[in-house]
Amino acid sequence: MVRRVALGVSFLAVCSLLGCSGPKSRFKEPVPVSGSVNLDGQPMADGMIVFVGDTGANEQLPVKDGKFQGSVTPGKKRVEFRVMKMGKPIKMGDQVIEGSMENILPAMYHSDSKITAEVSGGAVNPSTFEVKSK
């Protein structure tokens, strides 16, 4: 009995040192991706592309001059887009309260997005996205 326990402990120690696949193997390592986003037919000046996985985890990459690049975990993703602008000030009595940041894109491109992409082997498919502001 003691021998089995010692053997089990030794096996676990070797696995932890060598990185045997176990429960951690379901967590995929991020892979490099890049692509482009057009807003109303032109490269999106500044924004964000968000890859949402099965677990609901968001992986955000900045979009600058229509291009994005970074690392995202592999798998099928729901894709959202954000272009944030300062909202209109709100008047409350005699006070004017500064507006909050708002996504200027329609909900079909963020909270209600049905757009999907597949991330695998260091690429995202599709790699070009078309977004409309209206």
Tell me the per-residue pLDDT of 56-77, one tens digit each, with 9 for 90 and over: 789 999 999 999 999 999 999 9
Q: Write down the pLDDT at residue 27.
A: 65
Contact 80, 50 (CB under 8 A): yes
Residues paired with residue 97 on neighbouring β-strands, in sequence order? 90
**Domain locations in the chain?**
28-131
Q: Considering the domain 28-131 in this protein, what is its CATH number? A: 2.60.40.1120
Produce one character per residue of 95-107: b if its CB has 16 or more CB atoms within 10 Å, e if not.
Answer: eeeeeeeebebee
pLDDT band per the 50, 70, 90 thresholds, residue 28: confident
Percent of the chain whose predicted confidence (pLDDT) is above 90: 61
Phi, psi of 2 (to 5 degrees): -60, -35
Contact 101, 88 (CB under 8 A): no
Q: Which two tokens stand for residue 133?
A: 């502001």
**Residue 1 scores a pLDDT above 60:** no
